[in-house]
Amino acid sequence: MITFMHGYILKRGGLSFFALFILVLAIVPASTSIYLMRTLSIILIYSILALSWDLIAGYYRISVLSFTHAALFCLGGYMSGLLAIHQSVNPFISSFIGGVTCMSIGLLLGLLCLRFPGRFNLYFLILSRGLASLIITTLINEWRITGGTAGLVIPNFIRLENVTLYWTFNYYLTLAVFASLVTLSIIIERKPLGYAIRAIYEDEVAAWCMGINVSMVKIIMLTLTGFYAGLAGAIYAHSLGIVGPDLGSMTYMLMIFFMAYVGGSGSIVGPILGAFIWYGGYELLRMLGFSGVYQRLALTSILLILIRFVGWKGIWCGLLSPILKKEKLLLKFTRGKN
């Protein structure tokens, strides 16, 4: 039986590994094509989304299966955009306000539903999905303010005539936010909060009886990840200059789910890898001549077949991490837990 600990692979040298990774990301696209920087920006935004979602809903985490994450992403973009348009707030400040708005929604949702103990809290599941619908429906129906399904054209962070320079700026901004989230996740994993999260995953009642305030931990994590979802939405919207209600749709929610689980839920590397594979594959298929809906269909099918072999632990935790740690690889052809 393979017994390994996903989160703990980064225990030693985790921070330096990520510092190197971020350094590479910072150096490689400098003065290269706009296309590469734009693609990488979107991948990083998706990484933020997938990683922040995985921090609450993933394997080895607190099992708060949030369906609001994509809607918060969307709302962050709208909030920031509307403030920038109507109140002429500086986009940097409005992005932050967008994040804080989503953070408070996360806090409210947590206070309402996460005070009950129990894994896979059904009330939370229903309310988070309902809240997502509420946010998106409101954004579509209030078309006089939000522009309805057509979306909203919003100002960019800075006005630059030079497009290369513009995307370079956006890229580094995204990278900074991404780096902050990754650092935060690594720090959390090593602090008592990380131990609490692991303990809650293993056994909630036992964790509760050992002095861990289970609801508090869940609410803190939901609030924190809500902030990052909102901030990611705002940055995405401002760098593309447009925000639409489809960002919060179930398609995007499932995409987050897919990225986290294809990459390897329950680790920090996994969701990031998932985002790279997902959007990278998407762009690769475009180059190969797939377009529109076929692009997504082909990609999903390929990834699902891949998942069939590496198991539900995903590419990182089921395939790459055991190889790196020189463990016996168990490609799964049978159902069940390994």
Partner 1 sequence: MLLSGSKVTKKFGGLYALKDVDFEVRKGEIVGLIGPNGSGKTTLFNVISGIYNLDGGKIFFDGVDISKFPAHMRCKLGIGRTFQIVRPFNEMSLIDNVKVGLFFSSRRNLNPREVEKEALTLLEFVGLKEKAHFNAMDLTLMEKKKLEIARAMATQPRILLLDEPLSGLNTAEVLEAVKLILRIRDEFNISIFWVEHIMGAIMRAAERVIVLNNGEKIAEGTPEEISKDENVIKVYLGERYLKRGAL
* Residue 61 near residue 190 (C-beta atoms within 8 A): no
Q: Encoding tokens for residue 287?
A: 């180059």
> Contacting partner 1 (CB under 8 A), which of 103, 196, 253, 315?
196
Least distance in angstroms from the C-beta of 196 to partner 1:
7
Query: Could you say whether residue 207 binds partner 1 (CB under 8 A)?
Result: yes
Secondary structure (DSSP) of 66-89: -S-HHHHHHHHHHHHHHHHHHS--
Pick the piece of the chain touching partner 1 (CB under 8 A) from 64-72, 204-212, 280-288, 316-324: 204-212
In this complex, which beta carbon is closest to partner 1, that of residue 130 or of residue 192? 192
Residue 250, Cβ neighbours under 10 Å: how many? 15
User: Looking at this protein, which amino acid is placed at residue 46?
Assistant: Y
Strand (E) or helix (H) holding 104: helix 91-113
Output the CA–CA distances (angstroms, integers) from residue 6 to 189, 315, 335, in the order listed. 11, 12, 21
If one asks whether residue 210 binds partner 1 (CB under 8 A), the answer comes out as yes
**Look-up of token digits 């607190």:** 62
12 part of the interface to partner 1, by CB under 8 A:
no
Tell me which stretch binds partner 1 (CB under 8 A): 124-132, 168-176, 190-198, 267-275.
Answer: 190-198
**Which stretch in 119-127, 193-201, 241-249, 270-278 sits in contact with partner 1 by CB under 8 A?**
193-201
What torsion do the CA atoms of 186, 236, 80, 145 make, to the nearest 10 degrees? -140
Q: How many CA atoms lie within 13 A of 289 on its CB side?
A: 0
Residue with Cβ nearer partner 1 (211 or 292): 211
Residue placing its CB nearer to partner 1 in the complex, 70 or 317:
317
- Regarding 163 and contact with partner 1 (CB under 8 A), the answer is no
Q: For the packed helices 269-287 and 34-57, what is the interaxial angle rounded to 10 degrees?
A: 140
In angstroms, give the least distance from the CB of 1 to partner 1: 9
Please give the structure tokens belonging to residue 228: 């990052």
Min dist. Cβ of residue 129 to partner 1 (A): 28
Nearest approach in angstroms of CB 20 to partner 1 is 24
DSSP H or E segment with residue 234: helix 214-240
Residue closer to partner 1 (CB basis): 6 or 238? 6
Smallest separation, CB 119 to partner 1 (Å): 13
Q: How many residues bind partner 1 (CB under 8 A)?
A: 20
Identify which range of 66-74, 210-218, 236-244, 326-334 contacts partner 1 by CB under 8 A. Answer: 210-218
- Strands of 5-132, DSSP E: none
Least distance (Å) from partner 1 to the CB of residue 200? 10
Q: Closest separation between CB of residue 8 and partner 1, Å? A: 9
For residue 243, list its beta bridge partners: 152
The angle subtended at Cα 22 by Cα 7 and Cα 264, nearest 5°, is 30
Q: Residue 84 and residue 87: Cα distance in Å, rounded?
A: 6
The contact pattern for partner 1, residues 51-80, with x = CB under 8 A and - = no contact, is: ---------x--------------------
Sign of CA dihedral 288, 289, 291, 294: negative
Q: How far is CA 7 from the centre of its chain?
A: 17
Among 12, 16, 211, 291, binds partner 1 (CB under 8 A): 211
Q: Which is nearer to partner 1, 136 or 200 (CB)?
A: 200
- Residues 139/251, Cβ–Cβ less than 8 Å: no
Is residue 145 part of the contact set for partner 1 (CB under 8 A)? no
DSSP classification of residue 331: -
209 binds partner 1 (CB under 8 A): yes
Within positions 218 to 257, which residues make up the interface with partner 1, using CB under 8 A? none
Positions touching partner 1 (CB under 8 A) are 3, 5, 60, 192, 195-196, 198-199, 202-203, 205-214
